[in-house]
């Protein structure tokens, strides 16, 4: 059976935000609307055959390649083209420089993601948290940092908002697949993406047969 919809996610969002909000809030960043996240991520059709572990290794190996014939960043083919066909919601989450530490101004955004994931229309689905980077810095390091940032978002969703670990996987694509391929150095390429990757098919439990009636041993 599908678990009941958590009623305290909104309270958790508020508590997490208020616990670390700076005295002088940073302007210019607003959290996405929960219903917008739900609307985009629920448009799921079919699930591709994704091997996340194998893809992680492929991403790391390509980031280490030093081929002379390799195309420039804006001409690199996407390393995970199947992800481009899936429902995706991109969010701008601010991290401390060169770290996976989420800054306070982005706490509400993470909370909205959690709130969306427990809405009825998204409860049957599982998701991939995808980290990206722009072309500043070493290419291999960008893959590693994007993975750590994706993991940080997953950890917040699981540990703070109690989203099931079975519903969330992560991958860091670094600069091997840009959000905006035409502008590899653009900050938009540091966005985090939430991708719907599968629909859980829960089978109803089979009804247990009624035990046979016991014969009375009482003497007549």
> In the block, which residue shows the tokens 């909000």?
21
Beta-carbon-side half-sphere exposure of residue 4 (alpha carbons within 13 Å): 3
Contact between 16 and 111 (Cβ < 8 Å): yes
pTM of the model: 0.80
pLDDT at 207: 44
CA dist 90 and 101 (Å) reads: 18
Classify burial at 30, counting beta carbons within 10 Å of its beta carbon; exposed 0-12, middle 13-18, buried 19 or more. Answer: exposed
Q: Tell me 54's DSSP state.
A: H
- Which CA distances in Å does 159 have to 12, 106, 114, 163? 11, 17, 11, 8
Question: What b/e readout covers 58-83, taking b as 16+ CB neighbours within 10 angstroms?
Answer: ebbebbeeeeeeeeebeebeeebeeb
SS3 143: helix
pLDDT at 13: 52
Distance from chain centroid for Cα 66: 30
CA dist 177 and 148 (Å) reads: 16
Q: Right CATH number for 14-64+77-199 from 3.30.1330.60, 3.30.43.10, 3.10.105.10, 3.40.50.1370?
A: 3.30.1330.60
| Beta-carbon contacts of residue 220 (< 8 Å; ≥ 6 apart) | none
Residue 47 has which token pair? 């699930």
Q: Tell me 76's DSSP state.
A: P
- Among 170, 169, 172, 82, residue whose Cα is nearest residue 126: 169
How open is the CA angle 103-109-113, to the nearest 5 degrees? 130
pLDDT at 5: 45
CA dist 47 and 69 (Å) reads: 34
Distance from chain centroid for Cα 52: 13
pLDDT at 200: 81
CA dist 87 and 116 (Å) reads: 14
The ranges assigned to domains in the chain are 14-64+77-199
Residues of the chain with pLDDT under 70: 1-29, 202-220
pLDDT at 65: 85
pLDDT at 206: 42
């Amino acid at each position: 059976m599908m678990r009941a919809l958590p009623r305290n996610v909104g309270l958790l969002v508020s508590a997490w935000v208020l616990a670390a909000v700076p005295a002088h809030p940073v302007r210019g960043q607003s959290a996405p609307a929960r219903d917008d996240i739900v609307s985009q991520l629920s448009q799921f059709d079919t699930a591709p055959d994704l091997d996340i572990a194998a893809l992680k290794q492929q991403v790391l190996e390509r980031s280490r390649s030093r081929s002379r014939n390799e195309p420039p960043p804006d001409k690199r083919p996407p390393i995970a083209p199947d992800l481009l066909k899936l429902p995706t919601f991109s969010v701008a989450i601010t991290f401390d420089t060169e770290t996976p530490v989420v800054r306070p101004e982005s706490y509400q955004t993470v909370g909205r993601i959690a709130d969306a994931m427990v809405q009825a229309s998204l409860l049957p689905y599982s998701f991939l948290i995808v980290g990206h980077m722009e072309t500043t810095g070493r290419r291999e390091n960008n893959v590693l940092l994007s993975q750590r940032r994706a993991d940080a978002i997953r950890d917040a969703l699981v540990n703070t908002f109690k989203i099931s670990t079975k519903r969330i996987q992560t991958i860091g694509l670094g600069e091997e697949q840009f959000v905006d391929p035409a502008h590899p150095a653009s900050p938009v390429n540091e966005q985090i993406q939430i991708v719907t990757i599968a629909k859980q098919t829960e089978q109803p439990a089979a009804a247990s047969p009624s035990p046979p009636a016991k014969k009375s041993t009482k003497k007549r």
